[in-house]
Amino acid sequence: MELAASLNALHKQMATECAPIVQDIVRNRCRDQQQIEHTLDRLLDCACIPEGLVLFKSLCRYYYTFNPAATASYVGAYRDMWDRDDVEEAKA
C-alpha cells in the first residue's frame, strides 16, 4: 500500500512538472517535434492519473494538428499501457 502511494505521488509530481511545459508548447505554438515527443514520453508515464491524462490529451490534440501519424502512435502507446478495456474483455 505504501509503495502504491509513493508511486502515485511520483506520478502527481511528474504531472505538476509537465503542466507548464505543455502550456508553453501549446500557447507558443511550438513545432519542435523532439520537445513535444519528449514531453509526451514523460506524460505517458503519468497518464494513469487524471492530471497526467488531461495533459497528455491536451498535448496530443495540439500535436495532431500538424503530425497526426506521430500522435496516433502515442495514443496507441497510451492504450497499450493504460487502457483497461482489453483487460476487461479478456476476463469476460
**Three state DSSP letters for 26-84:** HHCCCCCHHHHHHHHHHHHHHCCCHHHHHHHHHHHHHHHCCCHHHHHHHHHHHHHHHCC
* pLDDT tens track for 36-76: 999 999 999 999 999 999 999 999 999 999 999 999 999 99
Which pLDDT value is given to residue 3? 86
What DSSP state is assigned to residue 58?
H
CA 47 to chain centre: 5
On whether the pTM is more than 0.75, the answer is: yes
